[in-house]
Structures are given as structure tokens and as C-alpha cells.
Chain A
Amino acid sequence: MTTNTQYGFYFDSSKCTGCKTCHVACKDRMVGLERPGEDVAANGVSDMKGVIWRRVYEYTGGFWSQNADGSFEQDVFACYSSIGCNHCANPVCVKACPTGAMHKRRQDGLVLVAEELCIGCESCARACPYDAPQLDKGRKVMTKCDGCQDRLQTNEAGELIRKPICVESCPLRALDFDTMENLERRYGKGDAHIAPLPSQSITAPSLIIKANPKSRGGGQVVNGAEV
């Protein structure tokens, strides 16, 4: 599969504080799109509980011991990974989809759902190692990060000046979005994807990571209730 342009994300784990602004900014946009015209004054804005299009995983590890005088020794670390959809070059969700609803758009490499074809079987969700496909249980269709395709704007020089809402929301400027070519020019190829992220060899994600300097193996994702 080849595309002319491949959009992707950049994430700097050394800056991320796990504040969830990207998660909530995305949710405000997506709930508005998924539930347009709901009577918010009468019923409030839909929770869409459990449907989280951009998730922030907290990966934590380290051990403690105590000295004879009760003082501590430890080697604790923690770091965050903010993940929406990586619009992978080898999207296993697309391969897993029995109807062709999940597809990769040729002109920009975004992985999108053709909702009229989706039967809500969740094969894509089971295949994706990043939890990107999120089932809208109300409408029984799969939904996911669409790269904020409606927001993207370029200037006359061809530079992307409006980016996905998660990128523009980030208080620490830990996220970026652009063509992979531009991202590589800006950040290089980045660091290897280590825990908790799966190996890049599975899906060839369009995601450049700057690793957290304290990150290492042996930890675990401790915030299951938040992702």
C-alpha cells in the first residue's frame, strides 16, 4: 500500500505530565460530532463513558526497600504515552475488518471508518495494539481518531497551520502532527518504541516518539480505569 502523503503524530514523553488535556479536548470534539443536536439543556452532554479516542497511559515501575533506621531506598519511575490513532503504514485494523469499513485513505494515509459499511463487530478493536478503534455503543458503529481531518488547514507555503485538536490543546507542547516527512525533518526518526508501546514492527505506526529519559522496562500500565 502506498500513499502520496502520510500524516502522523509526534509525542514527547519527556514533557508529558499526564494532564489529560488531549484526552478531554478530543472527547469534547468527538462527542459533539457523534451526538450532534442532542438536547443538552434538558439532558446534559453525553458522557459516552468508556469511549476514549485519545488515551494517556501511565507506565510506572520500581521497587522499594527500607534501611534499618526506617529510611527508604527506591528506584521508582513513571512516564506517560498519549496515543490516539497512529494511522499505521501497516494497519492491522484494516486487515481485520470483514466489511472494508476500516480503510486507509490514499491521499493522506489517515485510517478512517466508512460508517455505512461498519457492522460494529469490533474485529478492528481486537486487532489494534493501540486501542485506537472505540465502539460507539449507542450507534453500534466503530469510531476512532480521524486525524481531525476537518480541522487541518495549510497556508500558502503548504505548511500545516491548523492541526488536530489534541496537538493544539497540549499545555506542555508534547504533541505534534504533520506529514511524516515534515515530522522527521523536525524531530528526526525519534526513539525506539519501548514499553508500554508495542513493537513498531507490528503495524509500522506513523508515530515518532521522544522517550522519557527515565523510562525503562519492568513497569506496568497502572491507570487502566482512565484509558
Chain B
Amino acid sequence: MERRSFLKMSAALGCAASVTGCDSSSSDTNVTPPEPPLAAEQQSWSSCLVNCGSNCPIKVFSRDGVITRIETDHETTDEYGVNHQIRACARGRSLRQRTYSPDRIKAPMKRVGKRGEGKFVPISWDEAASLVASELKRIAASYGNKSILKHYGTGAYYGFSSSACFDRILNLNGGFLKIYGNYSWAQQNEAAAATGFSSTSGSSLTALKDSDLFLGIGYNPSEMRQSGSGEGYDFLMAISGNPSLEVIMVDPRYTDSMAGKEDQWLPIRPGTDAAFAEAIAYQMISSGWVEANSRAFLDKYCVGYDQASLERLIEEFRASGDAKKLALIPYIDPTENYRDYILGEGKFVAEGGKTPAWAAAICGIAEDKIKQVADKVMAARAPYIVTGAGVNRHANGEQAMRACYMLSFLTGKVGKPGVSNGALPSQGSLSRAGMSGLANPVKETISFFTWAEAIVRGEEMTARKDGLRGTPDLDTPLGTNIKAVFAINSNALINQHSDCNGTAAILEDESKCEFIVVCDCWMTPSARYADLLLPDTSWLESNDLVNDSYASGIMGYLVAMKAAIKPLWDCKSMYDMCGLIADKMGVGAAYSEGKDEAGWLSELYGKTRSNAANASAIPPLPATYEEAQKIGVFRAFDATPKLALDSYINGGKALSTPSGKVEIYSLLMAQKGKDWVFNPDIKGDDISAIPKYQRTWEGYEDDETSAEYPLQLIGFHTKGRTHSSYHNVPWLREATEDAVWMNPVDANSRGLANGDKALVWSSRGTIEVPVRVTPRIAPGVAALGQGAWYKPDVSRTGPSGHAVDVGGCINSLTRYQPSPFAKGNPQHTNRVQISKA
């Protein structure tokens, strides 16, 4: 421990005093550590396939069938924007330890204890496949195919031997219940679509060369996207390449996307981003700036800015004769317009204006600073504003995202070089052909977040109350509870879903969900809740064809993966295990279509190779997959900046909103806000046509909970995991401590010092974690890296009345309460108390 006190100035004295002894300089070269016998090693290409947005190439070295070390892409001269290397982060570099982790699931296993106890016995693959086949048949016959759910799972982004193999067997069984949305972007996807674009359609970071102001609200690429060719690297290169760019970051944490790269950090209270945005809007409108500078833009490209805009929309819809537009007219209320709302005029006169003074007291950013930011936004020639996904994972994240999106449009400059629309930046990608899951006859889909509720009351869930989709009308229920769950590379069965303790209680009742299959490589907390465990091969044991994934930076790439070693223990690839199940179901031929692994890879590679999107790949894709596996990595960088809404603003192509324009007043939100049912007891459970800051349950202004739970708690993406993937790697646990961040003010008042163990609790549960006392978090706010593995210690009861989760999973504290529109996860809206353990 004493060495840890080094690197403090005080240490210098101590070591100076110990400079004694003789000079033992040596020219002896015969004293080197053991040389690694490099010659005997073999090398093959793999790829890290977790859900961080990138699938970085991994160079695997092995000897005698054992992996000896990990490297990454070092195949080029590494010129940024030309051929830069796709370097894996700490997680990819730890893959040797992860692959040989003692908690690998080594054989198919059947549950023997109570569900959730984690007691299993190994069984043969034959028995496992027969069990899946017979249960699928039984459950479909007894409850219908809608009762079989394939759960959200993002632990392995394979192209060929992916979870689509499970889709194939489930569809060959007559279909299954699908989900829509995801735990990352549920609210922002709906918010952006309602406004007129995709939540990842922002201008590319290369466009920043033309910008003079960068305003990031909850934007943190350096921690989110760590790949050495990822968005974090693009961000660094973009801002360092434009020294005249002013960078302002708004976040409750002083993130590593700052750490010296920013001009200004504005700490903000969680869930109050909309108040901050509205105060900037107030400055822009009340000063007359919008009227003088962007009114023409708003009139031409947007609807809902003011009363006149909505009155014109009604006229236009009436004149169109289009039945869909006519049906929307009753949902257009011109008095409910953005300008009046922001200024506190018209029907909003009683509310008052959304002034900087009003916002400062809520969001924590001082009034003068809000005014300064507003001045900068107005003065900027080319403002690039972006809102990160942390803003969306809140009780009413839909409204918060839309409120922030408005700022770009108020500038009237969207479509110009260097300007964005508020969405996450567009990125590059090469395209790989993937395994088909076959057609699914079941038309209903549920929000990904409502699956556990659907185990309890799926029968009665409807579109109007629960966001059910694919039903003929708002009130036709799903008609069945979920009776079987397939969790494939998914730790959302317990760990990544809200309210672990509540979810555990649902899953433990074996009369409710009758069959749970978990397919994974490691004994995750979710795996403990399986009835049947199917051991997957890890990436390093797999042949596959993958691309860069979905948010991997501007560099697009493909990796032709080749297994470095044979499948460990009794593990099988998903393609092979589902083939065994298909045989037991009697549908083996339909499953395989007569192809083996090599046949599929050859076919998928052929489709990938002929895809025009991959024509720019360097080196060009060779004739056969085997040749591609020898080369490993293929890349392409498109340096042309992509501009948000370019095809609409500069190309005249209508948007997909009902009006075809940017909808400040969202017609879809207006409609659903009127037609759907909300719970008046849930504060902030509301959909409004224009974006509005919401006082939500357990938000900063929720005085019902603030006395008992004085701290707001947010999760963040720790650098030592991707969600819950890699949690079981000791090297990473050592490199990146899991600790709850607390401001010195909050820590001192509780007698907590750096490294102390603390109990953190909400009404849903209690966790035990060390404290990181740091000024990098706002007072009144605590932050915890999400994804640590849920580990309730039943011998200890926490202040919440639940077993203390000594694993420190944030979802022991989060609430299951679907958001109003997306029915998404509000996992950053939490109030907690913290005390010394």
C-alpha cells in the first residue's frame, strides 16, 4: 500500500532520502527476463462483440491450442482519417482472462434448486435440445406463441452465429413475441422520430471543422465509445483540429470527455436538462433574436413555433383532403404553441416565462451562465449542439430530449456547414450480411421494458395503457401472459432491467413464467434465473463475419473472424446448438437450409462482398471467406462531412412526420397524449404536443421523496465494463474501481471518506459499494457505474428492507416505471440515501 502514497509531492522527500548505495550500472546484457517464444505462436483475427457501439478487431495469439496473449489492429501506418488503426480498449485487451474465466458455463445445465438459487446439474446436449423442443411445443399449444418471448440481449454482436439462430427455431415453432425499443435509446428514439429525424442523425463529427461552438448536453463519447477508432477518438481529433471551436459541456459529472478538452463545464442536476434548454430558448425569443434571425426558418421548415404556425397547419391539412391529415386536425391546438409556453403568454400566462432565473434554481446552472450560453448560441456562426442519451433515460426522457432538440432549430441554421440538429452524430459503417431469423407470424410487439410486467399481466396489456403494438386497435389486449423467456446473451433478465429485487420476485414464482432459457458464456446474475443453461462459445472460439457495429466512429470496417482455439469444454456455437434443437423439433432441414457453418459463412461473405456499400473497403474483399480470414480487417473512412437534415433543408425531401416538417408541435405526441391513458399518481406521466420540462417522480423537484432520499442518483457507463459485459474480469475490476461518486460536501456531511464502504438505498433496495469522494460530481448528486453484477447477501437486510446487494448493481435501486411515450427505462431517475456501512 505504501507505494500508493507515491506520486504525491510529499513522496519526493522520502525517496530523495533513500538514494543511497552504489551505482550498479551494468553493461551485462545477459540478464533479461524470459523471452517469449514468439515463433511457436499462431495468430488469428477475432473481434470484441459487446454493446459499446464498436466491434474492435482483436488479434489473438495462441500456442498449442491455448491463447497466450491479445493484441489489436496494428496493420496500417495509423494516419487519422486515412487508415487509422482500430485499436481495442482495455476491455478487448482483457479477453484472455475473460475467455478462461472460471465462471464460464462449461456444459448444458438444468436447474435443480428453486429458480434463482443458482443450483444446476450438467446434462447432455441431447437432453438439453429435447427439453427446449418439447417445452416450445407444450407452451405454444397451451398458451399460444405470443406467450414465448425472446428477450432483449446485446452481449454478442455476431453476424452469422448470432441470436438470430434462436429466432429461427422460435419461428419454426410458429413464432414468438418480439420487443420494440431498447434500454439505451428508447425515449430519444421516440422523441427524435416525433420531431422529424432519427436520434443518431446528427451531423458527423468531421463537420466540426466548420463549427465555432460546441454545446454538448450529457454528451460523453470518451467514456461511451472507447474504441481507438471510435467516436471518442473522432471527438478528440475533431475538437483538437479546430482550435477556434469553443466547447461547452453540460453534465452532472465532470466526464473524461472533458478532463481538459473543454472550455467550460456546466454541472447540471439530473433530469433538469429541459429547464436549462427552455431558459436558453427564453433568452433567444424574448430578446427578439428569433424574430429577427430565425423566424423565416421556423416558418418554412418547422410547425408549432407559434399560434399562427399551427393555424396555418390546420388550414393546410383541411385543404389537403388527405384522410390521415384530416383525422389529425382535432389534435392541433394552436394555443398550445412553443413560443407562448416559453414566454409564459397566452394560455401559459399563469405559469410565467421560462426565464434563466426560473431555470437556475432547478437545474443548478447559475442565471448569468445560462444567459452567457444563450448569447453564445445566438452569436455562433455555426453552432453544433448535441444531446446525449443520458438525458433520455429519465422518467420523462422523451420531453427532455425534445426540449434540447429545439435549440438547434431556434438558431435557424440547421442544414448549414458545421451545424447539427441536436441528435447524436452520424457515423460510418461497412455492411455485413447476417443470419436471417425467418418470418415471425406473431404481429404483436411489446416495449422491451415491459416484459416482466407482461409475465404478470400480459393478458390485459393494451396499446392505450401499455404501448402494445401490432394490435387492431387501442383496446385489444395481448391476451396472454408470458410463459417462456429466451434470454440470449442477455443480462437483462435481472441485472440490466430496473428493480432487480422486484424482478427477482416475479421470476422466482415458477407458476408464472414456466420456462426460462439462458444462453451465455458466463454465469451471470441472469443465468442464475434460468431453468436451462446453454453454454455458448466465446468470440475467440468462433468463426464469424462482423462489421463495425452501430456507433463505431466514422471509420467503417469488417472483421473476418477465425477461431483461435477449439470450443472450450462442452460449449457450442449458437448456430450448432440451435441446429440440435431444430433436429429435435423435426425442422432440421428448414433450419439449416442444407448448409453447414462453412456453407453459411461462404454465402454471407458472398453477399457482403457484392454489397456496393463495401466497394470502398481497403484492402478490397478477396474472393473467398478463407482468404478474408487471413487478412482479418477491412476498413473505409468517408471524410465527407454528413450534415443533419441535409436532404430536407437543402434537398427539399419531406420528413416522415405527419406534416412532413420538423414538428416542434408533434402531432403524434398530441394524438397519443389525448388517446392514451396515464396514471395521475405517477408524477410526470404525461405526453405533451410541445416539449415541456416535467416535474417527475423522484426528480429534483419531487418533494414527496426528497426528505427521505435527499440525493439524486444517476448511472454512467464505466470504462471497465460495457454494460454488464466484462464485469467478471479481475484485471478490469482492478483497473476501474466500482465506487459511488459523491461530492465532498455530501460525503463530509455523512462522515464518508474516499474508499469507505457505504450503503446506498432507495425504496427498492440497498447496495454496498465503496465511496469515491470527488469534486467531479455535482452536490446533491451521486453517480455509479452501471452494470455491476447483482449479488444479494440474504444474511443482511439493508435500510430499505431488502437483502443488501454486495455486488453493487445500480438496478437494485432503480424503479420499474415505464416512461409515458416510449414505455422506456427511467434508470437515471432515482432518489437515494447514503450512509457509512
Which residues of A does B touch, CB under 8 Å?
Answer: 1, 13-21, 23-25, 27-29, 32-33, 36, 40-41, 43-45, 47, 49-50, 52, 56-57, 60-64, 66-67, 69-74, 76-81, 83, 92, 94-98, 100, 102-107, 112-117, 123, 125-131, 143, 146, 149-150, 165, 168-173, 195-199, 202, 212-215, 220-227
Q: Name B19's contact: one of A17, A50, A78, A95 (CB within 8 Å).
A: A95
A11 to B774, CA, bound (A): 24
Contact B18 A28 (CB under 8 A): no
B32 to chain A, nearest CB (A): 7
Q: How large is the interface on B (under 10, 10 to 19, 20 to 34, 35 or more residues)?
A: 35 or more
A146 and B32 CA atoms in complex are apart in Å by: 9
Return 21 A-B CB contacts under 8 Å, by A number. A19-B256, A20-B735, A21-B226, A28-B96, A32-B68, A60-B776, A78-B259, A79-B260, A95-B24, A100-B26, A104-B25, A105-B27, A115-B31, A126-B2, A126-B14, A129-B7, A168-B74, A173-B228, A198-B6, A202-B12, A212-B259
Q: B25 touching A94 by the CB < 8 A rule? A: yes
Q: Return chain B residues, CB-CB under 8 Å to A222.
A: 754, 772-774
Cross-chain contact of B261 among A14, A44, A173 (Cβ < 8 A):
A14
Partner of B90, one of A24, A40, A150: A24
Q: Are A114 and B31 in contact (CB under 8 A)?
A: yes
Q: Does B731 contact A (CB under 8 A)?
A: yes
Given A15-B236, A17-B223, A92-B15, are A225 and B737 neighbors across the interface (CB < 8 Å)? yes
Q: In this complex, what residue of B is CB-closest to A125? A: B3
Q: In angstroms, how far is the closest chain A Cβ from the Cβ of B800?
A: 26
In order of increasing CB-CB distance, the 7 nearest A-B pairs are: A171-B228, A114-B31, A103-B26, A100-B24, A212-B260, A17-B256, A24-B90
- Contact, CB under 8 Å: B15 / A76: no
Please indicate the chain A residues that have their CB under 8 angstroms from the CB of B67 in the complex.
Answer: 40
Are A40 and B100 within 8 A (Cβ)? yes
Separation of A84 and B100 alpha carbons in the complex (Å): 27
Known: A72-B778, A129-B11, A171-B232. A45 touches B100 (CB 8 A): yes
Distance between A82 CB and nearest chain B CB, rounded to angstroms: 12
Which stretch, B143-151, B358-366, B677-685, B816-824, touches the partner chain A?
B358-366
Closest B residue to A222 using CB positions = B774
The segment from B33-41, B42-50, B485-493, B631-639 found at the interface with A is: B33-41
Q: Indicate if the CB atoms of B29 and A171 lie closer than 8 Å.
A: no
- Tell me if B153 counts as interface (CB < 8 A to partner A): no
Known: A71-B364, A102-B24. A171 touches B226 (CB 8 A): yes
Decide if B357 is an interface residue (CB 8 Å cutoff).
Answer: yes
**Is A127 a contact of B18 with CB atoms below 8 Å?**
yes
Q: Does chain A have a CB within 8 A of B477?
A: no
- Please indicate the chain A residues that have their CB under 8 angstroms from the CB of B720 in the complex: 20
B66 CB contact (under 8 Å) in A40, A57, A214: A40
Query: B366 near A74 (CB under 8 angstroms)?
Result: no
Contact of B101 with A by CB under 8 A? yes
B25 adjacent to A106 (CB under 8 Å): yes
Does A70 lie within 8 Å of B361, measured CB to CB?
A: yes
What residues of chain A lie closer than 8 Å to B25, measured between beta carbons? 1, 94, 103-104, 106
Judge whether A71 and B87 touch: CB under 8 Å. Answer: no
Judge if B397 is at the interface, Cβ distance under 8 Å: no
B320 located at the interface, meaning its Cβ lies under 8 Å from any Cβ of chain A in the complex: no
Chain A's closest residue to B755 (CB) is A225
CA distance A63 to B743 in the complex (A): 10
Q: Which residue among B89, B93, B364 has the maximum number of chain A CB atoms within 10 Å of its CB?
A: B93
Report the bound CA distance from A165 to B20 in whole Å: 33
- Select the residue from B7, B29, B90 with max chain A CB neighbours within 10 A: B7
With beta carbons under 8 angstroms apart, the residue of A23, A112, A169 that contacts B87 is A169
Answer whether residue B745 sits at the interface, using C-beta atoms and an 8 A cutoff: yes
Residue of A nearest to B102 (CB): A44
Chain A residue contacts of B69, Cβ below 8 A: 28-29, 32
B23 CB-CB contact with A under 8 Å: yes
Of all chain B residues, which has the CB nearest A55? Answer: B7
Q: How far is the CA of A33 from the CA of B38 in the complex (A)?
A: 12
Q: Tell me how far the C-beta of A80 lies from the nearest C-beta in chain B, rounded to whole angstroms.
A: 7
In chain B, what residue has the closest Cβ to A62? Answer: B775
B11 engages A78 (CB within 8 Å) = no
Q: Are B260 and A149 in contact (CB under 8 A)?
A: no
B360 and A71 contacting across the interface, CB-CB below 8 Å:
yes
Chain B residues, CB < 8 A from A227: 4, 7
Interface pair B87/A171, CB less than 8 Å apart: yes
CB-CB under 8 A from B93, the residues of chain A are 21, 24-25, 28, 169
Q: Is the CB of B12 within 8 A of A18?
A: no
Q: In this complex, what residue of B is CB-closest to A103?
A: B26
Residues of B within 8 A of A80 (CB): 259
CB distance from B181 to the nearest CB of A (A): 29
Q: Contact: A43 with B31, CB < 8 Å?
A: no
Using CB atoms, name the residue of chain A closest to B5. A224
The answer to whether B730 has its CB under 8 Å from any CB of chain A is: yes
Residue of B nearest to A220 (CB): B8
Contact bitstring B710-721, A, C-beta under 8 A = 1, else 0: 000000000110
User: Which chain B positions have C-beta within 8 A of A49?
Assistant: 730, 734
Contact indicator B779/A64 (Cβ below 8 Å): yes
In the bound assembly, the distance between CA atoms of A76 and B602 in angstroms comes to: 55
Establish whether residues A95 and B775, one from each chain, have CB atoms under 8 Å apart when the complex forms: no
A32 CA / B408 CA spacing, docked (Å): 52
Q: Are A45 and B233 neighbours in the complex by a CB distance under 8 Å?
A: no
Contact with A along B352-390 (1 / 0, CB 8 A): 000001001101111100000000000000000000000
B656 interface hit (Cβ, 8 Å): no
- Give chain A residues whose Cβ lies under 8 Å from the Cβ of B357: 69
B367 near A71 with CB under 8 A, answer yes
B94 at the interface (CB under 8 A from A): yes
Mark B83-118 against chain A: 1 for CB-CB distance below 8 A, else 0: 000011110011011001110000000000000000
- Look across to chain B and name the residue whose beta carbon is closest to the beta carbon of A194: B9
B568 CB within 8 Å of chain A: yes
Shortest C-beta distance, A90 to chain B (Å), equals 8
Residues of chain A with a CB closer than 8 A to B258's CB: 78
B32:A23 contact, CB within 8 angstroms? no
Taking a contact as CB atoms under 8 Å apart, the answer to whether A221 and B366 are in contact is no
**Separation in Å of the B236 CB from the closest CB of chain A?**
6
Let me know if B26 and A106 touch, CB within 8 A.
yes
- B-chain residues with CB within 8 Å of residue A18 when the two chains form the complex: 256, 259, 719
Given A24-B94, A212-B260, are A74 and B367 neighbors across the interface (CB < 8 Å)?
Answer: no
Contact of B260 among A62, A63, A69, A215 (CB under 8 A): A215
Task: Report whether B734 and A74 are in contact in the complex, using a CB–CB cutoff of 8 Å.
Answer: no
Is B131 an interface residue when CB atoms closer than 8 A count as contact?
Answer: no
Please measure, in the bound complex, the distance between the C-alpha atom of A151 and the C-alpha atom of B229, giving whole angstroms. Answer: 23
Minimum CB–CB distance from A161 to chain B (whole Å) comes to 10
Chain B nearest CB from A64 CB (Å) reads 6
| Contact partners of B16 in chain A: CB under 8 A | 92, 202
Q: Which of A76, A197, A220 has the most CB of B within 10 A?
A: A76
Task: Judge whether B21 is part of the interface by a CB distance below 8 angstroms.
Answer: yes
Which among B735, B736, B739 has the highest number of chain A CB atoms within 10 Å?
Answer: B735
Q: Check B260 against A129 for contact (C-beta < 8 Å).
A: no
Q: Which residues of B contact A214 (CB under 8 A)?
A: 259-260
Of residues B15, B74, B233, B732, which shows the largest number of chain A Cβ atoms within 10 Å of its Cβ? B15
Known: A60-B775, A146-B33, A150-B36. A171 touches B19 (CB 8 A): no
> Once the chains bind, are A107 and B18 in contact (CB under 8 Å)?
no
Inter-chain contacts of B100 with A (CB < 8 A): 40-41, 44-45
* A168 to B77 CA separation, bound complex (whole angstroms): 11
Tell me whether B366 and A72 are in contact (CB under 8 A): yes
- Indicate whether B238 reaches chain A with its CB closer than 8 angstroms: no
List of A residues within 8 angstroms of B776 by Cβ: 60, 76, 78
Report the Cα distance A197→B29, complex, angstroms.
31
For the complex, give the distance between the alpha carbons of A116 and B31 in Å: 8
A17 touches B35 (CB 8 A): no
B230 within 8 Å of A by Cβ? yes
Q: How far is the CA of A169 from the CA of B363 in the complex (A)?
A: 39
